[in-house]
Structure 1
Amino acid sequence: MDHYLDIHLLPDPEFTAPMLMGALYNKLHRALVALNSNDIGVSFPQYQLKPRTLGQYMRLHASASRLQELLTENWLQGMRDHVQITEIQPIPESVQHCVVSRRQFKTNADRLRRRRMQRKGESYEQATQAIPHSVERKPNLPFIMLRSQSTGQAFALFIAQSEVLSEPLRGSFNTYGLGQNASIPWF
C-alpha cells in the first residue's frame, strides 16, 4: 500500500454531501466486490466526531497498479459530474497510520426482541426479560447509508477511526475498503 488517490465530492444544489457520499460508497463497494479485493483501503481525511461527518473527501489506498485497475472498472459511471479525482500519487514519507473500520451497534431493542422471538420461539415477555431496553446504544460515529446487495435493505454503515498509530498494521480489507486489523497511511 504505497499509493493513493483522492475523490472530492463537488457541491450540488440537488443532493447533499452525505447523499453523494452514500452513492459513491455504494459504487465503490460494488467495484471492490467485482474485483474480489482485499487490498484496497479507504479513509476520510475530513473525518470528525463533532460535528459527526465523513467530510467531502474519500481517499483510496493501495498499490499504483491496483488503483489503476480499479479506475479502469468504470465504477464511477453516473458519478463523474459529482466528483473530482486526483491522479494516483505515492504516499508521502514519514506518515502516521490509523485503522478505519466498521462498527455495528445494537440500536433497537424491539427489533432484537422480535428476532429472538422468531429464532427461539419465545413470547414477547420472555424476549423482553432477556433483552432489556438498556441494550440500546445511540451511535455517535459518522455513517453512510447503503443498500445491501444481498437483501436489498437499507442500513447505516457506521465508520470508526482509531487513534493515530506510529507503525502500520499489516492485514486485509473487506469489500467496503475497511479493515479491523489493517491500517491505512494517515496524512
Structure 2
Amino acid sequence: MDHYLDIHLLPDPEFSAGQLMNALFAKLHRALVQLGSDSIGVSFPKARDGAAGLGGHLRLHGCLAALDDLLALPWLTGMRDHVRLGEAAPVPADARHCRVRRVQADSNPERLRRRAMKRHGLSEDQARERIPDAAVKWLRLPYLQLRSQSTGQPFRLFIEQSPPQPEPRTGAFNTYGLSRDATVPWF
C-alpha cells in the first residue's frame, strides 16, 4: 500500500453528491470484481461521523501496479463528466493508518423473524415475541445506497473508519475495497 489515487466528485445541478458517490462506488465494485483484486482499499477522507453521506472524495489505496490495472479498465465510463481523477502518487511518509470496514445492521425485524422461524422452527407469533420491532438496531454511520447484483434489491453499505493509528496492519480487501483487519494510509 505505497500509492494512492484521489477521485473528487464535481458539483452537479442534476445529481446530489450522494447519488454520484453511490454510482461511482457501484462502478468501482464491479471493476474490483472483474479484476479479482484483493489488494486495493478505499477511504473517504471527507466522511463525518453521524453524517449519512461519505462526502465527495474517494481515495483508492494500493501498490502502483494494482492501481494502474484498475485504471486500465473502462470502469469510469459514464462518470468522467462527474469526477476529477487525480494521478497515482506515493503515500506521504508521515501517514497514519485507518481501518475502513463494513458494518452490517440488523435493522429489518421481518427479515430477522423469518430467519429465526427457519433456523429455530418458531411460529410467526413466537418469532414476533422473540424479536419485537423495538429490537431493531439503527446505525449512525455514513453509508452508500447500492443495489445487489444477485437479487436486484437495494441495500445500505454502512462504512466505519477507525481512528487513525500509527502502525499499519496487512490483510486482504474485499471487492468493495473494505477489510476487517487491514488498514489504509490516512492523511
Offset, 1:121 = 4.6
**Inter-partner Cα distance in structure 1 for 2:51 and 2:36:** 34
**How high is the sequence identity, in percent, across the aligned residues?**
55
What letter corresponds to residue 144 of structure 1 in structure 2?
Answer: L
Offset, 1:108 = 1.9
TM-score (norm 2): 0.95
- CA separation of 1:51 and 1:150: change in aligned 2, threshold 3 A: closer
Equivalent residue, structure 2, for 1:38: 38
Equivalent residue, structure 2, for 1:170: 170
What SS does the corresponding residue of 1:165 show, helix, strand or coil? Answer: coil
Aligned length: 187
Contact kept, 8 Å, 2:67 with 2:88, in 1: the verdict is yes
**Inter-partner Cα distance in structure 2 for 1:81 and 1:174:** 28
**Inter-partner Cα distance in structure 2 for 1:180 and 1:152:** 25
Equivalent residue, structure 1, for 2:160: 160
Offset, 1:151 = 1.4
TM-score (norm 1): 0.95
Equivalent residue, structure 2, for 1:102: 102
**Inter-partner Cα distance in structure 2 for 1:150 and 1:53:** 25
Structure 1, unaligned stretches of length 5 or more? Answer: none
What letter corresponds to residue 23 of structure 1 in structure 2?
Answer: A
**Inter-partner Cα distance in structure 1 for 2:166 and 2:103:** 23
**1:128-169 deviation digits (Å, cap 9, x = unpaired):** 233233421111000001111121111000000111111001
**Inter-partner Cα distance in structure 2 for 1:52 and 1:120:** 35
Equivalent residue, structure 2, for 1:16: 16
- CA separation of 1:96 and 1:76: change in aligned 2, threshold 3 A: same
What SS does the corresponding residue of 1:81 show, helix, strand or coil? Answer: helix
Contact kept, 8 Å, 2:143 with 2:159, in 1: the verdict is yes
**1:33-62 deviation digits (Å, cap 9, x = unpaired):** 000010000000101014343110000000
Equivalent residue, structure 2, for 1:54: 54
Equivalent residue, structure 2, for 1:67: 67
**1:62-117 deviation digits (Å, cap 9, x = unpaired):** 01111011001010001011001001100011110010000001012123113333
Moved more, 109-118 or 165-174: 109-118
What letter corresponds to residue 17 of structure 1 in structure 2?
Answer: A
What letter corresponds to residue 56 of structure 2 in structure 1?
Answer: Q
**Inter-partner Cα distance in structure 2 for 1:117 and 1:50:** 34
**Inter-partner Cα distance in structure 1 for 2:78 and 2:146:** 17
What letter corresponds to residue 104 of structure 1 in structure 2?
Answer: Q
Calculate the aligned-residue CA RMSD, in Å. 1.3
What letter corresponds to residue 133 of structure 2 in structure 1?
Answer: H
Contact kept, 8 Å, 2:170 with 2:182, in 1: the verdict is yes
What SS does the corresponding residue of 1:49 show, helix, strand or coil? Answer: coil
